[in-house]
Every structure is written in structure tokens, then in C-alpha cells.
Chains A and B, each alone.
Chain A
Amino acid sequence: MDNVDLKLFNKIEALNPDINTCMACGLCTATCTAGNFTDMSFRKIILMLQRGKDKEAIELVKKCMMCGKCMMICSRGINTRNILLSITRIYNEEQNI
């Protein structure tokens, strides 16, 4: 963790403070439309970003279908849709620099 770059996570966190309230209960992944057919898992995306594994996180984000079921079920009330959209936006901005 000493050499990890958390720039992306910090930017996303600033926009979505609720990202830190995940307790990894797995409801998002259990209901996930895409997660039934791929390794997509919203809670893993959060964990990967928190650990600086940005590339792995983006690979999972690409598999999201934006169906919104994770937002409906999340027992911490996390705005999953907004987090996913800000990840793609911020990541794309960084790539363009």
C-alpha cells in the first residue's frame, strides 16, 4: 500500500463520500444482472479503487449494464449509479491528459 497511487479514488471519493460506507455485504453482486454472467461486482470495484487497482476496477466497470438493481438493494443506500458514472468520467479525463 505504500507505493499505491490513490489519485483516482480520492477524486471519486470527493464527489461520492458514500463510497466509504460499503460493508461488502454482497447484495449488489448478488442482484447484479451483469454479475450473473461476468465477474462484474460493484463492491469489488470500490475495494479495487481503495487499494489503487484502477485498471482492474475499470475492467469491471466496463461490464456494468447500468440496470440500477444495486442501487435499489444497497443496504447502505450508496448511490451506485453516480459512482459508476463518475468513475468513467474521471478516468476518461485522466487518460486524455
Chain B
Amino acid sequence: MNEYRILIIGGGPAGMETAYQLKNLGLNPVIIERNDKLGGHLAQWDRLFPSSDSAETLLEKLKDQTKDIEKKLNAKISNITKEGNIFHVTLSNGIKYDAAAIVICTGFDLFKAEKKQEYGYGIYNNVITNAELEDYFKTHNDKRIDEPKRIGFVHCVGSRDVKVNNTYCSKVCCATALKQACEIKDEFPYADVYCFYMDLRMFGKGYEDLYLKAQKDFDIKCVRGRVCEVSENIEGKLVIKAEDTLLGTPMKMTLDLLVLMCGMEKSKSSNEIQKMLNINNNEDGFIETRDNFSGLNLTKEKGVFVAGACTSPKTLPDTIAEARAAAMEVFNYLKVNGQPSLVQ
């Protein structure tokens, strides 16, 4: 018998995969999700880099794996106390759990594009975010995307930028930009598509192939330079400025649509939980892990584990691998500490 529960905080890909693997290991997880459905950002996405596979297929697989696992949707944790090795957890609707371990899987928030005021998001009509473009691919319902002839993508929006206090690389935006650039070119074959990048970080499996495909098959033009300012002309088109750094000259260009590749910030939804569990952040604002190598799923608090983008920007393969590793860490911890059925 499993006397105690394993509390998974967050029902995105990291939380779902962790719960599934824990169940496979014979434990009894429960997923606490603040929204009314599972999936996190994955549920908002249409297709996934590098191969433009359907996001829904992956989501359905993850959901299917967790169909027998208890979930609490629209749930908020209002209190956690620790007694010995056991966490007494109370939800805001009064439900209580006694948990032998907690796995924080709260993921990321997308950087708020309006913070980069010079890009005019929320002011100039045709400036949109990567998430909004993905939503367009899903729904084909966005008045701002109306047969654009010239489209720009700005990489590193809210990443690698000391002026918004995010000095880290968000890891996924380069590949997302090229994926979305190919997809929008596919939709509007006569459009010219430009990607404004500083370094193209195509490090993962199949990413470099995506880069080549974008150049060879989709005629995507990559300009090495960061966009410095956006404005609107009398026709409502966007005027952008950047330096074409490889040519060494300033450039000005008129566009019909500008897509801002908003990076990742640790989700603010974990702040309260971190306070209850005494878990700190790193300088970059993400949750602190025990070390940077073999302790990536551990925190300084015994019994509190982490998985996914709450500790640093991560791709989906990274997240899923980390969720599996977290499940194993929980299992090993419980064998030594507390879960009587596992202590032989």
C-alpha cells in the first residue's frame, strides 16, 4: 500500500510526464494544476520544432498516459507544512494531502513583449508575439495577419538583454523562429521573410537541418543584427531599424508583420509555493537546483524536487527527459526516507 501521495505541482508536459513515470514506479502521484486544463504552453502551440510535428499529438499522448492519475484542476495550494519527512498540503478548496515528496513542475511564463517598449507591442497593430502566431496557425483567426508581403522575426526578445534583467539565452527561440518562418512562408509563398538574429543557436537533434531547410527550401533570409526600434508609417506598415552587422551598415526596412520571439521567464505561479517550501531562485530568476550536473532535479530542501522549465529555459525533449529523471530521484529518495512500502 502507498500511504503517502506524491504531489506534482503543475500539469504541463513536465508534470504530466513525472506523474506518469511515478505511477509506473508504483507510487501514487496527484497533479495540482491552477488552470482548467492540462498541457501548459504545449496546449497553446500548433506545431513543434524542429520537424513541425503536431503539438496536439504529443499533448494527447501525455494526457492519455495520465488518464488514471488523480488531477486537481483550477486548484491553488494555500498552505504547506512539514512534519518529519511528510508535507501536509492544503488546497484553497479545503482538500488536504499528506505527501511524502513534492515535485515542482511550474514551468515558465513567456516574456511580456510590452516591456521592450521600443518594439511597440500593444501599440503598433502588426507587432505580434511568437505565441500569437502559433495561435494563428491553430485557428487562422487573427485580423493582423492579412496576406503579409514582408515579415520579420526578432530573436532574443526579453533574452540576452541586461536592460530587462534577463541575461540568459531562452534556448528555444532560434529554432521556433525558423520553424515559424518556414510555416508562414508556406502559408504566404510570395512573402519575404527575414529573421533578425545575433547567434543562431541550432544545437539540438535536427535543428541544423531545420536551418538548412529554412534557407534552401523556404528562402528565409537571416540578418545578423538586433532590431533597435519599431515605428508605424502612414499606411500602418511597420518601419524597423537594425544594423546589418555582417555588412557593417545600419538598415531600415518596411514590414507588414513583425513577430517578437519572446523568451522564457520562470513562471510567477511558483513564487508562493517557493515561499512555503523555502526554495530560492538563482540570479537569473529561475529556481535554484542543488548543483548544475547530477543534482538538477534536487533542491536544497529534502523531499522537494524540480523538473522542467522552472529551473532554466528548456526544450520539450529536455523537459520530458528531466521529468523521467525527477521520477527516478523521487523513487530513490523514498526508498531511503519514509515511504514504508518501499523500505524493504
Contacts and interface: CB of A to CB of B under 8 A. Distances in A.
Direct contact of A and B (CB under 8 A): yes
Interface in A18-46: 23-32, 35-36, 39, 41, 43-44
Interface stretch (A7-15, A49-57, A73-81, A82-90): A73-81
26 contacts: A23-B198, A24-B245, A25-B198, A25-B225, A25-B245, A26-B226, A26-B242, A26-B244, A26-B245, A29-B243, A29-B248, A29-B250, A30-B228, A30-B229, A30-B242, A30-B251, A31-B228, A32-B250, A35-B243, A41-B243, A43-B243, A43-B245, A73-B228, A75-B160, A75-B163, A76-B162
Nearest to A39: B248
Contact of A41 (B199, B228, B248): B248
Interface string B219-255: 0000011111100000000000111110010110000
Contact of B226 (A27, A32, A39, A41): A27
Given A31-B241, A43-B245, A75-B160, A25 B250 contact: no
A75 B162 CA distance: 5
Contacts of A77: 162-163
B228 A36 contact: no
Interface in B245-287: 245, 248, 250-251
A53 B69 CA distance: 66
Contacts of B225: 25-26, 30
B226 A75 contact: yes
Contacts of A36: 250
Contacts of A23: 160, 198-199
Contacts, number: 61
Interface of B: 118, 156, 160-163, 198-199, 224-229, 241-245, 248, 250-251
Nearest to A43: B245
B128 to A, nearest CB: 21
Interface of A: 23-32, 35-36, 39, 41, 43-44, 73-77
Instruction: Label chain B's interface by main secondary structure.
Output: strand
Given A25-B226, A35-B250, A75-B226, A30 B243 contact: yes
Nearest to B227: A30
Nearest to B225: A26
Contacts of A35: 243, 250
B197 to A, nearest CB: 9
Contacts of B241: 30-31
Given A30-B250, A73-B118, 15 more contacts: A24-B245, A25-B225, A25-B226, A26-B224, A26-B225, A26-B226, A26-B242, A27-B228, A29-B245, A30-B226, A30-B251, A35-B243, A39-B248, A41-B248, A73-B228
Given A31-B228, A31-B229, A36-B250, A26 B162 contact: no
A27 B243 contact: yes
B51 to A, nearest CB: 29
Most buried by B among A25, A36, A43, A75: A25
B47 to A, nearest CB: 29
A79 to B, nearest CB: 12
Contacts of B199: 23
Contacts of B243: 26-30, 35, 41, 43
A75 to B, nearest CB: 4
A39 B225 CA distance: 16
A41 B248 CA distance: 8
A26 B225 CA distance: 5
A92 B162 CA distance: 32
A81 B228 CA distance: 18
Contacts of B242: 26, 30
A28 B248 CA distance: 12
Most buried by B among A23, A27, A29: A27
Contacts of B198: 23-25
